[in-house]
Structure 1
């Protein structure tokens, strides 16, 4: 008996030692281990009634288990097993208790209330996230397809559609969706409307003018057809959904009109630093090494109204770039390659490893020094990055970092015998100068991964990219290589020829005129000085539309009556004679004429109408000789 008592006390001591202060208060008055254990059991799990309530709660949780977005199968299965094991533990001891509330002990009541609290918390739980809510709504309203396969396809679409929220990916997303749609597609999944159709329609409609412009040009025919079909069937309901989605349709329109067109990823207000994209290998044009080209860039940027903070030159970083190249060689991340250019191009295209890729560090450094001095041996070599020579993205197949060039540099003369490529210099300089975002046309998208891999090898900060579509124009050429042909062959006056799509060419063709708001509507600009003269100038088109005795209004002056119209021997109107009629009503006249006073301050202008650069809208064939379509004189 004494032994039993000692064991019980030891057990009670062990229980006490395993409890925090709050739980210890619950069992402090227990005289034996069983009493303490029963108290704890009721507090945490409760008697059979409490267990049954807990079991029912777990069963409800089990029935509503579903995979989260981007959750792996193993993680989901782990959550299922956890709930199942909890249920198994409760099933063993679950019995229907017939005790009424008045027969429960305080501890039993506490356990029951805990289980009830657990159920209340479950009922009050919330769903967070737009696409989590869409999945819930889709299932609840039976808009989630028929069968597991269609439900899976809907999940695929809902995982993809958020890409439309990223402005820089909008057009690429449209292209992907269009290519996935059959021409006879009415709905995205199956033969009935699903939550996927609503989600995609909302994503397209939310971007307003951007999506309207894509649909308006019939660029994505399958997407256009799907969108129009959906609108014809559910226009009223879809507009109501959009109104709820954005607060209200009218508020949405006002809100979106104030949004910037560019949604820069990872941008912080006041911390965005951009560089002007082109390199100085030509005049700036709408669609980029000579001193002339370099000096033209700041001039063109000012013409565009862009205020820049500083002008920097890549050659200022040549010493650091060479140190970085040597560092990558020593780390085995770059190698010198003396493969002939044609063979290198073929091997790179086929993903074949260069024999030079496995040169030792000492061998690479030896050849690197030959390149630096521009020796005959060095001129046969180039420096390549060791990225991934078999990558499907060919831009990652060991790009060239340095090439030898003995030509004169427009700023440093013959100081250097080798120069970094744009692919190597740009990642380094961007990171060094604190550039946060690079804006460039989407033809360079394949180079984004290349830049980030190079920056990773360099150990510098990565920059973000925003791609935009290249502007298409007709009856002209945007390729500077082809424009250069026109310049070199004397087909145009130069890079600023009005027919060439450069900034300076556009200035000559259609000068940028900054118009001050009219003074009478813009009082802050001050009083307007108007000069009235006996003779005035009016537009010839206005002159020939006037008949004798017509009453017309001279803007900002008053009415006048035309008494006589004089013509020359050719019948051309040369002069109109009239008298002021200032008491006349401007509301009664049909013609409101803009005029200029006859004064010596007027400047005579000569307007020249230019023809197109080429006679074809677009040169479709890549190898088509464009010289045969040139307009020599215009």
Structure 2
């Protein structure tokens, strides 16, 4: 099978693109022909002209050919039966006319006007430029005109009748018009997206010497949206520079870490399309890290300290030296041996880097670099009793593993001098550091410590709770991988810290799910009203109707018609006798009787009279309904609110004081018979109620459970 790739640099003009693009569309639309795939990459619409070499074509098995003229001629030679007429030399002349007189974004108005006059005269009594069929001549000239603003303006003035007639005719040919509209739509979408996304031109240093990035998650919880951004950016820059990305598990705290977390992180990264070129573990380097700690002690750059945690915190804040700061090397080695063996004294001791007592940057005030911890490690078992801290291990392992650029969130900025101090102190290879803003969302916790607290307190179902910002949590709520990736990549590696609103990401998700979500019907069980339908079929009638009116590929569903239907109480209360309404997917009906024992209370019964010849465009109310005579499915509709009440928690805030007392809302409903076939993770729309993800499928004696998917609109609970 032949394949065709149109390769375009980041900056190109439409006048350069269209001739080859239209030519490819004619090939693609011809019959019979081998399929041709057209790929457009990173095109920006700019006024500034660019070199013709910015366009290339590659046929399968061949090298790339650059330049508009070479591209067009390559297409002709590959597909002569579709692009050539009987007068090849004349067609070549028109290609030359295209490239020299019409393309290139010329600013010479007189020159363009003369070319258009020449075209107009040539087309007197002609349907095509050459011969009696569409050829490369028409394609190249029409394509260049369509990408030339001056030419389009002249054509709109309508003073060149022959040219206008020919231009409109060529543009009306379906396979030409289709590709142009598709191309314009794609470029508009890309331009809008480009204006919203962060710039990726961040000026990384020494990229010509090779690029190795790393994503170092700690396996102490599930991957959340903030981690996902870090992983994606590290992968982006590694791929952009043709380098390598390492996924390294920072497994230095056996008390918090589990194999479960490690496995889940890899699974979630894979779902996001993130696959490290290597997977490593800080625990792979424990022996080397221990040696480096001994080296630090012998260099006089680290000391063991058994000061209590509270006292140490106070001394660091006040710039007071520890009583143990001036221990001898021998004393420190002996104390570190106690730590290694987890003796009674050893477990009370830590190893601190000897940097500064009162540096204005508190991260430089003799940070802890090793701790004693007798807990069993999920990978190394009980082999070790001392473990390096992240701040000690990270720069060393980065250097050892060949990392060239450490890309990490801006919260580490104060610790960057500490990072470089460790490398300098041990004489290790330098690593470039780039900080980018972490993702912050209103009323959302991204601290694994705080998320763990919610799990341990039983305030959520687990790490995949739909109220959690973990990848699994938001996926369970109904976020698609496509929307999540689009959102994260659009943020870019900017350093600007902002508190984002979830409505942005959910609005993007709606654009993904709306075109593919089957439409179904549910009536709330509380207060559901049974209506008698005069004119309805006495015996149930089943009709097959599209699950999605705008997407036939979604398939068909059963719609049951009958002489009794169920309606939502809210709709019934809004009716007036004599009013004409529309029963969606059936037709119009008059409300002929309303039974309401209490004038201010609920409607208990309705009578409707079908009026199928009525115009649905003239009715104010279009309501969903269910025929009572069908095997309805009992469902539970669940919606959620934020876990905390404050938009942004400060360090001094006590978490317990800002817990939202009610974050889950459940309603029983009755759904149409098709819901019996809906599976877990399926996303559907209950019309007039919203989009839902199936969390539990219907089963005998068991309700189906659906989680409401936000759409970006702010709604009060």
- Measured against the shorter chain, the TM-score band is 0.3 to 0.5
Structure scoring higher RCO (CA < 8 A, sep ≥ 6) equals 2
**Which structure has the bigger radius of gyration?**
1
Q: Which has the higher strand share?
A: 2
Q: What is the TM-score of this pair, normalised by structure 2? A: 0.42
TM-score by length of 1: 0.47
Structure with the bigger percentage of helix: 1
